[in-house]
Amino acid sequence: MDQRASAFWVRLKANRFAYTLTILATLTVGILIGTVISYGVKGKEGQKASDATPLSVPAPQQLSNAFSQISKQLEPSVVNINTESTIKAPTRRRARPGEPANPDDQNPFEDFFDRFFGGQGGPGGNGGAIRERSLGSGVIVDPKGYIVTNRHVVEKADRVRVRLQDDPPTVQHDAKVIGTDTETDLAVIKIEMDKPLPAAKLGNSESMQVGDWVLAIGSPFGLNATVTAGIVSYKGRSIVPGRQFQSFIQTDAAINPGNSGGPLVNMEGQVIGINTAILTDTNAYAGVGFALPSNTVVQVYNQLIGPEHRVSRGSIGVQFNAQAVPAIARVYGVNSGVTIADVVAGSPADQAGLKVGDTITAVDGREVKNGDDLVADIANRKPGSKAKLTFIRGGKKQDATVTIADRAKLFASRLGEDEENSDAEKPKESKFGVTVRALTPEIADRLDVPAGKGVIVQDVRPGSFAEDIGLNRGDVVLEINKQPVNSADDFTRIESSLKSGQDVVFLVRPRGAGRQDGTIFIAGTLP
């Protein structure tokens, strides 16, 4: 290689080294510039604005402490209620000659009788018994052991037992039912203790507003001392048509089966309602629960602990639309008051001459604004007292004086109290081994039995004379030994006149038979 070539390669290598250094230097400068720019941008984003106010988070203790303090205060006053009921399994029909082996399978009246008499019972067969248990809640309102709960919690229970919050799981106290009220579904029970019990304070439910915080305390699904929180969603909610005394506080505090009878509590730790019902398609909490207002609870409680242990409400025996309808007012030519839709036969209103279409505008000179106003006024009056009604008929104002009646007796059938409060309707057990009761108009109509005729067999004792001769539950007894039987008293009177060894012939309309099917004789010799 000559000197020229050698010099060329030397220069080339030197230039390549210089180029490499130049490229590396350029890259380094670029990276540094990018980093500086990046820091510059981030620095601008992080700068504090001069007009911005810093945000703050409120202390969590305030709300938490309020709820926990109320819970600690009220929980000792809330009790778990366990009830036991014995349901007598009614005697099944015994097949008569010519009938299929299991006539109930083909009897269209079976479902009706099962509902009326409480069903056929379980697998135990004739004369068996089913033990039912239910759970509920209650709240102590008197240190002497008086507890408020729901009527449906203790209704028809053979045994009611109460467990206090501090009681061991094995300890329960027997409770006595002091009184119940169908209209408001309230009950008062009492346990005997050798020491004062922690009683809850009742508040004024009228002071509650929609949106106020509330707590529900009780034993849902048997889980005692459970606390849920929510707000008052609505006031004065009516969920059962025609029940003027069931105007509820609606809440979204979780209420489930077992919460019934427990308290709804405000932020002052006062009971402002008794949890009573939920609105759901699944029998579980769906966000809507109802509590009976404490103001109503106090009125009912004070009467239930009285000498008669029952709630007495006045009534004049009229019915009307629960909600005001402008069209009714326009057609009947009135601007206010309550237009009568029905008058109970024999009621004070009927005796005073009031008729359907009359509009009551005042009671003793005080203006009546609506149906609830009228009911509240009359219900608070004692049965036997008098009141002057002002009403409009055909555009003319008139007055009438009425004598207030007892609402429970006047509307006994509609309130479902005929079985409890009417002596004429109480089942009477006979030595024939049957329990009979008078036919109500509804049952007589369903069975196509002439009004005022016959008694219905409610139950047949296993191994009794009646069972031996083939008398069945649901049969209608029209005669005994040719003597008409038109009431339970007739049945008892005739039965008491018969002695051992005498022949007994019942004229019976068999269960499920219509008038066109006729009657049959069922007979035997009394043992």
Q: Which residues are catalytic?
A: 152, 185, 260
Distances (CA, A) of 144 to 98, 132, 202, 272, 488: 63, 29, 16, 21, 42
Distance of CA 274 to the CA centre of its chain: 11
What is the C-alpha R_g of the chain? Answer: 38
- Rounded distance, CA 143 to CA 145, Å? 5
* Beta strands in 239-295, from DSSP E residues, in sequence order: 247-251, 263-265, 271-278, 289-293
d(CA 314, CA 55): 61
Q: Are 271 and 200 in contact (CB under 8 A)?
A: yes
Identify the three-state secondary structure at position 227: strand
Measured distance CA(176)–CA(188) in Å, rounded = 9
Annotate 401-431 with b (16+ C-beta within 10 A) or e (fewer). ebebbbbbebbbeebebbebeeeebeebebe
| C-alpha pair distances (Å), 237 with each of 103, 245, 465 | 46, 11, 53
Name the region of 13 (left: φ>0; alpha: ψ -120 to 50; beta: rest): alpha
Which two three-digit tokens encode residue 132? 């039912």
**389, β-bridge pairs:** 363, 400
